Amino acid sequence: MKNKQMDPGKKLTLLRRLSALIALLSAASYTVTSYAEGVMTLGDMALTITKSFEGLAKLITAGAYMAGIGFVMASMLKFKAHKDNPTQIPIGTPIALLFVGSALIFLPHIFVIAGYTIFGGTGGAAGINGTTGLTGL
């Protein structure tokens, strides 16, 4: 009687299926363990999502400040380039950069004012506190 060997491709497929089954079983046991410790309700999920928005608001605020400062510095360089060669750089370019930079610098303050206007007395919606302006202003 001949000893039949399994095809290497079939061995690999069987090995893949076995590893997928082990991963599925371990994920299922982790889920059962986490639910046994405490069930996450819909309110808990909403609270987690709301807390993540605070970091996003701070990121947008910091990005607006940094981009605004960058645009203002670029406008200064363009003003210098216009002074050196007025035919190459039109005066509208540095003026536009200056206005965009100023708008980005004041954008977080506009968010705070809009929060007070829309939501009355609070600086954000649903407990988001990351839209504060510069400290001391």
Structure tokens at 20: 């997928």
Q: How many CB atoms lie within 10 A of CB 101?
A: 20
State the DSSP code for 33: H
Query: With contact defined as beta carbons under 8 Å apart, do 59 and 134 qualify?
Result: no
pLDDT tens, the chain, 137 aa long: 555 666 666 666 777 777 776 776 666 555 544 454 567 788 877 888 888 888 888 888 899 999 999 999 999 999 999 999 999 999 999 999 999 999 999 988 888 788 788 877 654 444 555 545 444 44
Region of 14 (left: φ > 0; alpha: ψ -120 to 50; beta: rest) is alpha
Q: Where are the domains of the chain?
A: 53-137
Structure tokens at 42: 């819909």
Predicted structure pTM score: 0.55
Q: What is the pLDDT of residue 8?
A: 62
Q: How many CB atoms lie within 10 A of CB 75?
A: 20
